[in-house]
Amino acid sequence: MQTLAYGFPKLGKQREFKRLLESFWKGGLSEEEFYQGIEDLKLKRAEVYQANVDLFPSNEVSLYDFILDTAIMVGAIPGRFQPYQGLKTYFEMAKGKQALELTKWFNTNYHYLVPEIEKLEFSLLENFPLKDFLFYQKHGIDTFPKFIGPFTFLKLAKLIKPSAEGIKVEKINEPKVFEEALERLNLVYQEVLKSLAKAGAKTVLIEEPGLVMDLEPWEWSLVKKSYEALSGDIDLWILTYYDSVSDYSSFIELPVKGLGMDLVSNQENLANLKVVGFPKDKVLIAGIINGRQVWKAKLEDKLREVENLLQFTQDLVIANSCPLFHLPVSLVGEDHLPAELTNKLSFAEEKLEELKLIKRGLEGDQEALNLIADIQRKVQISFGQKEEINKRVSQLTEEDFTRGIPYSERIKLQQKRLKLPLFPTTTIGSFPQTEEVRAARAKFNKGEISFEEYQRFIKQKIAEVIKLQEDLGLDVLVHGEFERTDMVEFFAQKLEGIATTKQGWVLSYGSRVYRPPIIFGDVWRKAPMTLEEINYAQSLTSKPVKGMLTGPVTILNWSFYREDLPKEQIAYQIALALLDEVKDLERAGIKIIQIDEPAFREGAPIKRKDWDQYFSWAIKAFRLCAKANPETQIHTHMCYSEFNEIISYIAQMDFDVISIEASRSKGEIIEAFETFPGWDRQVGLGVYDIHSPNLPTKEEMKEIVRRALRILPKELLWINPDCGLKTRRWEEVIPALRNLVEVAKELRQQF
Ligand code: GLN
Ligand code: ZN
């Protein structure tokens, strides 16, 4: 038996990758220095692999995104980026003015660039896999070249079709078109494989996570055809992950040498393996170490699992269940965490050590067996327990998930209290986090200023932003969120049962990183979390100030979480803590509370059949914390555009107002409400695209409102930016909001 690992983070413990990339962009590094830095990083990374596992890939350190690399490899360069000029074009496509669209990678918080296919013509433009294989070879390191397979690439790509009404962008749904594209794409892949064989590579790893999606039978037959065309020169191992393969029998018949499956995300692959069996002539790459969560495995159980697997096939390779880049690099430096927690944790580097230990254990190495027993014992000790919380969750009844009276009645009470004009204006919560704000926080964290001084600084910022919003003439105000770094980490730091790390950075896209908190125990609220700031803000104005909370589903989806409790239970624990906050805010006289759920959609499982189950508890968790008094107006906020498919679930959340994206899609998103007859909730139109430095004109914003008015009655519409203003500059925000308020005023005149 051998061990394989893949997808180890490229970030570097000190975030070296981020620093290299950003200083290169700023002109602080020459192209040569930049490449040199990347090469050093690659070699350091390879050392970690070498120290722990038998087999590992090359071609993993993409300079921005591995899907972008694949697009460039096969020459899928949209006309607006032509002619291709190497690195310059590469970063244009990644982050230029007309960059490719960024979107979520499967059910993770990583974002990839969506390839655009203008012509069904491909050619080998950059042989990244060969280049990287040769780089390691030169340093005497043997690797398995790895890249995204042709099926998954096409599945994620978009076809650009000029038509009478303009350009149409869509997924490739036509079997004929898909087949033709795949055939042509395969010619490029064949060339790559040939070159790798010639360079001395023995085995290639082809990632096809697309095979875990809901697929039609015609798609599976195309996959088969595709691999018939590709196999020959070199051994192919296909890796799938994040879920079970959607057609096990078709999968194991693919004409390749090795088949990789995720045995962690659910039990389906394993169940199929047991019932259907596994072909004698193939290598099984068993993903048994969880690449998505930060927990050490129960290693004795894993050892037994491996022994079981060996009954199905002697050709066994054990691996991580999915790429490891969803995890922080290593536990080193996280010494502030309690020992009981550290004992249970395993980041990417520690995951490799687990694979190594299993192998040593299997070979009968006594020292390893002792360690395995010790780990198994430690990970089973649970801590962070709170009896009252469990009791509160177990005693929840239907009533806890239902607001006292229906929306049609609530709205009357709320209007009486709020007296808002037609087309009320508001913002989503955060205002610019300037250098000044970040410097004050850093000083406080380093102990250079006292808590009181920091608090005074935050209050001064709140006072400024309240005054500004009044001057601008906004109707519903916010306190600006200056005290928050990140909308999830802020609550994680305040809640019990959740730990935050010092250096647990994970790449979200490009050079963008975040630190997911770790939910390790029962979650509860020791003290009010937002009351002080919101109260202060409300004391300064007679206009309503929104209470600002991050929703339970988003806190859960953007954190690592314990596995000894169903996700549903964890969500209810968080929701109860938030409910206590809602009640405190109400008691303090806050009339509107916004509960943000930008990660509501993203937590949905890959396969549709699992959606009802997920949404049923996600909706309940939201409703649990949103059970405010009828006269309190509950807002929520989501900022992505794929709304159509989930609108029926969203409708069940029973909020009063939802603010959504509307500018990027030019108001197209509103059509989702058309497909949902009887939509009666208020909708905040995100008419100002905060992801762009451009100043939105009044006409552009009005056009979006007009489009919405074709579908929704005017009484339901609010006007706001499409997300928080945290990343923008004041010079951009002030004129944009001035325009936004004027648009609302002009519309009021008109109607
Ligand atoms: N209230 C948050 C903010 O304004 C919402 C952020 C988000 O949706 N990602 O920053
Ligand atoms: Zn948002």
> Which atom number of ligand 1 is nearest to the Cα of residue 548?
1
Regarding the beta carbon of 548 and ligand 1, being less than 6 Å apart is answered yes
Nearest Cα to Cα of residue 660 among 617, 703, 704: 704
pTM of the model: 0.97
Q: Is the CB of residue 596 below 6 angstroms from any atom belonging to ligand 1?
A: yes
In terms of C-beta density within 10 A (0-12 exposed, 13-18 middle, 19 or more buried), how is residue 89 classed? middle
Active-site residue 139, yes or no?
A: no
Select from 488, 637, 737 the residue to mutate for testing ligand 1; criterion: most ligand atoms less than 8 Å from CB.
Answer: 637
Residues 693 and 696: their CA atoms lie apart, in Å, by: 9
Q: Angle at which helices 299-312 and 268-276 pack, to 10 degrees?
A: 30
Catalytic residue among 139, 336, 479, 691: 691
> How much is the pLDDT for 641?
66
Contact 104, 642 (CB under 8 A): no
Distance 691 CA to ligand 2 centre (A): 10
Nearest protein CA to atom 5 of ligand 1, as residue: 724
659: three-class secondary structure by DSSP: strand
Indicate the pLDDT class of residue 605, thresholds 50, 70 and 90. Answer: very high
The rounded Å distance from CA 724 to ligand 2 centre is 6
- pLDDT tens profile 45-87: 999 999 999 999 999 999 999 999 999 999 999 999 999 999 9
Question: What is the share, in percent, of the chain residues with pLDDT greater than 70?
Answer: 100
Mean pLDDT of the residues in the chain:
96
Residue 159's contacts (CB-CB under 8 Å, 6 or more residues apart) are 117, 169, 170, 171, 172, 177
Strand arrangement, sheet containing 116-117: 116-117, 158-163, 166-171
Residue 170's pLDDT is what?
Answer: 85
Higher pLDDT, 405 or 164: 405
The angle at the Cα of 675, spanning 670 to 680, to the nearest 5 degrees, equals 70
Per-residue pLDDT, 163:
75
C-alpha to C-alpha distance for 651 and 394, rounded to whole angstroms = 26
Mean per-residue pLDDT, 426-448: 96
Residue by residue, DSSP assigns 668-728 as GGGHHHHTSTT--SEEEEEEE-TTS-SPPPHHHHHHHHHHHHTTS-GGGEEEEESS--TTS
Taking the centre of ligand 1 as the mean of its atom positions, its distance from the CA of residue 488, in whole angstroms, is 10
Q: What confidence tens digit (pLDDT) does each residue in 350-366 have?
A: 999 999 999 999 999 99
Q: Is the CB of 724 under 6 A from ligand 1?
A: yes
Atom of ligand 1 lying closest to residue 639 CA: 8
Give tens-digit pLDDT for 164-211. 777 778 888 899 999 999 999 999 999 999 999 999 999 999 999 999
Judge if the beta carbon of residue 429 lies within 6 A of ligand 1.
yes
Q: How far is the CA of 170 from the centre of ligand 2 (A)?
A: 25
Helix, strand or coil, per DSSP, at residue 123: coil
Residue 448 burial (CB count, 10 A)? 12
Cβ neighbours around 73 below 10 Å, total: 24
Angle (CA) 140 142 147, round 5°: 130
Q: 741: buried, middle or exposed (CB in 10 Å: 19+, 13-18, 0-12)?
A: middle
Could you tell me how many residues make up the chain? 751
478 in contact with ligand 1, CB cutoff 6 A: no
Antiparallel, parallel or unpaired: β 546-550 and 592-596 = parallel
CA pair distance 560, 582, nearest whole angstrom: 25
Tell whether ligand 1 has an atom less than 6 A from the beta carbon of residue 723. yes
pLDDT band at 639 (very low <50, low <70, confident <90, very high): confident
Q: How confident is the model at residue 669 (pLDDT cuts 50, 70, 90)?
A: confident
Ligand 1 atom index nearest CA of 726 = 10
Q: Are 592 and 636 in contact (CB under 8 A)?
A: no
Residue type, 586: E
Residues 215-272 pLDDT 10s: 999 999 999 999 999 998 899 999 999 999 999 999 999 999 999 999 999 999 999 9
Which residue CA neighbors atom 3 of ligand 1 most closely? Answer: 724
pLDDT of residue 623: 98
**pLDDT above 80: residue 557:** yes
Cα separation, 663 vs 719, whole angstroms: 11
Q: Whose atoms come closest to the Cα of 550: which ligand? A: 1
Place of tokens 């959340």: 653
Q: Which of 430, 550, 691 maximizes ligand 1 atoms within 8 Å of its Cβ, making it the mutation to test the pocket?
A: 430
* pLDDT score of 424: 98
Domain boundaries, the chain: 387-434+466-750
Lowest average pLDDT, out of 197-201, 313-317, 411-415, 659-663, goes to 659-663
pLDDT band at 665 (very low <50, low <70, confident <90, very high): confident
- Which residue has its alpha carbon closest to ligand 1 atom 9? 598
When pLDDT is cut at 50, 70 and 90, the band that residue 368 belongs to is: very high
Q: How far is the CA of 733 from the centre of ligand 1 (A)?
A: 15
Distance 487 CA to ligand 1 centre (A): 7
Above 70 in pLDDT, residue 125?
A: yes
pLDDT higher than threshold 80 for residue 44: yes
CATH class for domain 387-434+466-750?
A: alpha beta
Residue owning the nearest CA to atom 6 of ligand 1: 724
Contact 299, 375 (CB under 8 A): yes
Pairing mode, strands 203-207 and 235-239: parallel
Say yes or no: CB of residue 260 within 6 Å of ligand 1: no
The average pLDDT across 668-682 equals: 88
Round to whole Å and give the CA distance between 146 and 130.
Answer: 10
Q: Are strands 283-289 and 258-262 parallel, antiparallel or unpaired?
A: parallel
Q: Mark out the alpha helices in 558-659 (DSSP H runs).
A: 567-587, 611-625, 647-651
Q: In sequence order, which residues have a C-beta less than 8 Å from that of residue 114 and are 6 or more positions away?
A: 67, 100, 101, 102, 103, 156, 157, 158
Which of 273-277, 447-451, 639-643 is least confident?
639-643
Q: Which pLDDT value is given to residue 33? A: 98
Q: How far is the CA of 494 from the centre of ligand 1 (A)?
A: 18
Q: Which atom of ligand 1 is nearest to the CA of 637?
A: 8
pLDDT at 465: 98
CB 186 within 8 A of CB 229: yes
Structure-model confidence comparison of residues 191 and 639, the more confident one? 191
Q: What is the CA radius of gyration of the chain?
A: 27
Give 165's contacts (C-beta < 8 A, 6+ positions apart): none
pLDDT in tens, 290-317: 999 999 999 999 999 999 999 989 999 9
| C-alpha distances in Å from residue 251, one per residue of 33, 219, 308, 360 | 44, 12, 21, 31
